[in-house]
Structure 1
């Protein structure tokens, strides 16, 4: 079939077996769409090429807003790994719902349900943008038979989600105060010790911790301002480490610190001042005379051998997560760095702190905190406190 749009000849081949009457009906629809301004010009754009263009545009959705770089790379990864190998060479306008069904059927045995659902969400968003921009006449996703469910029974473990955007990332049993102290102390020989200690005492996200500057610490008020986060989980040639505002308005917050945490941070600052000034340990000098750059990070990147320390250079977040997991495994704890966020929130809730104050402290929605808290196993200390409270309560009205 041939017809024109804005003077440009278009053609469309109907499936084998199509009758003349069916072809005539289809041609009438195409001409009608052209007359209404809804016609789609024939394009040789492949699915893979469209994905690349969509990512370059910032992966806009219905609200036509760009997403953050961390999210952008995650979208690109999901499409590249799980969709492009199956249909990347196919013309975008030839993509059918059956092609998508085949992709989803193949995902069931290789990735977790939640990841499969993420693949669907990103895939659908990209096709939605293609529809709105006139690249396709209809979204084949609307006719997909079975969409992945995030609550389906998992087949394999999900990929690393230590990206700072996930919340309570597992339902492991909370640690007692003694166990948490043992974990943190086990990191003392490691360069990660101040990061781990601060994560345990504040519940801050990994990417928030790595973006902290010394200017964010107010020793007199005993507070720490969280005003930014790292925007990348790992630098690539296309996506570089950068800073961004917190993901939500709740993320921009001021956290109260205890005296022990403040002293730990000041000890880390003194260590950096000695390194900058070249002052050996044990030499008594007035370190207040050693000024750090205005944007000096609390936990800058560790320089390679022979290179100078750059206090404004951030660490690679994913490397920090891997190093934490390696040492935590050696200490027989088997948790991720992000788990400390959930442990901190759980400990505060177990201690009776109101959920709205806990949510404010960790920069989250109270409803989300409460929902995730209900899914977690309580710490041994919390169970003992509950038993003691119930015993005292019963004794108050069951007197013999």
Structure 2
């Protein structure tokens, strides 16, 4: 039953006939926004570019974003009555709760994907996101802290006596992601060529830590490292060999070439448990918590582990290393690299202006 004037009813009827002719007609439904979100997550949150479920970790993150930030306000609203104005009001509400700009962007992207799936499933004729006036953009996101070379050296030295020292050093001087570092195996280290091979990453979901391939082909890469890092890694491997042999005294003379670690032994395993297991992965979130706590103590409050990756990329770009070379090292495509780090590189303008002062005489 239609509630409105005769002219409005006729206009509505014409719209229905037109959409039917175009194949875009959507039958009325009482399905709610919350109901659609739950269904979309249940079937694996398929997107428009790849019509298949996302990874378990990504699905967990999508669920957290939508159920924490979207469902509390929009849960009972009928899906077909959701408007761009109501979504704008939601974003305004979230901003009053001091939501991080990066998180708001992620909410917008994931919610947009859910509504896009509703359009493809004929639950909506058009996504209200198409009419949004205040869509948050990536440019508004907080890209974190970019350390310069002196600051990076101070940070790494501050971790020297910590169990995280080598993990932090690799992150700082290679730009590798946390979960790529924690998934490294000893057979990924080439001592002769001084490279680390990235072939997998950790994936953490509720109650499980496993391995997965990199997200894209660019993620599969070999990274050149300095001899100092190679030496530190060799020393770490020797420590593990002694541990495997039960040799506590580091001064004891032992032919380590006679000892071997398991084929899938990790460079940074977890030794939590009754016996040493060189293949058990560490808890990535525990690593992040420990890093944040110690970084604050050594003079870097608010620094995130991921900021080491951004700092490394920024430093290379500031040195004049070509964008495509930096992109390959980080596993980015060049466009994404420039978009991600443009905000940090832009800060060089003031520094260059100061350097130029007094150089030109007219």
Tell me the TM-score range normalised by the shorter chain. 0.7 to 0.9
Give the whole-Å Cα distance in 1 for the aligned partners of 2:263 and 2:225: 22
Larger Rg: 1
- Measure how far apart 1:266 and its partner are: 1.4
Residue 65 of structure 2 corresponds to which residue in structure 1? 78
Matching of residues 45-194 of structure 1 within 5 Å:
45-66=31-52, 67-110=54-97, 111-151=99-139, 169-176=143-150, 179-194=151-166
1:292 aligns with 2:292: no
Shift of 1:364: 2.5
Structure with the higher helix share, 1 or 2: 2
How far is 1:351 from its partner? 4.0
SS at structure 1 position matched to 2:265? coil
Measured in 1, the distance between the counterparts of 2:341 and 2:90 equals: 35
Residues 120 and 338 of structure 1: CA distance in aligned 2, closer, same or farther (over 3 Å) = closer
- Would the aligned equivalents of 2:145 and 2:307 in 1 still touch at CA under 8 Å? no
Offset at residue 231 of structure 1 (A): 2.8
Find 1:236's aligned residue among 197, 206, 219: 206
Q: Report the 3-state secondary structure (helix = DSSP H, G, I; strand = E; otherwise coil) of the residue aligned with 1:79.
A: helix
Q: How does 1:10-21 map to 2 (within 5 A)?
A: 14-15=2-3, 18-20=4-6
- With over 3 angstroms needed to count, the CA separation of the structure-2 counterparts of 1:86 and 1:346, relative to structure 1, is closer
* RMSD (CA atoms): 3.3
**1:331 offset after TM fit, Å?**
0.6
Relative to structure 1, the CA distance from residue 298 to residue 199 in structure 2 (aligned partners, 3 Å threshold; closer, same or farther) is same
Give the match for residue 365 of structure 1: 333
2-structure distance, mates of 1:349, 1:369: 10
Contact 1:175 1:379 survives alignment (8 Å): no
Distance 1:80 1:324 in 2: 28
Listed as ranges, the gaps of 5+ residues in structure 1 are: 2-13, 159-168
Conservation of the 8 A alpha-carbon contact between 2:200 and 2:211? yes
- Displacement after TM superposition at 1:25 (Å): 5.2
TM-score norm. by structure 1 comes to 0.76
State the match for 1:315 in structure 2. Answer: 282
Change (3 A) 1:379 1:329: farther
Show the 5 A alignment for 1:355-394.
Answer: 355-370=323-338, 373-376=341-344, 387=355
Deviations 1:246-304 (A, max 9, x none): 23322211112222211111111122223333221323322233322222111112404
Instruction: Identify unmatched segments of 5+ residues in structure 2.
Output: none
* Equivalent in 275, 298, 310 of residue 331 of structure 1: 298
Counterpart CA distance in 1 for 2:28 and 2:92 is: 30
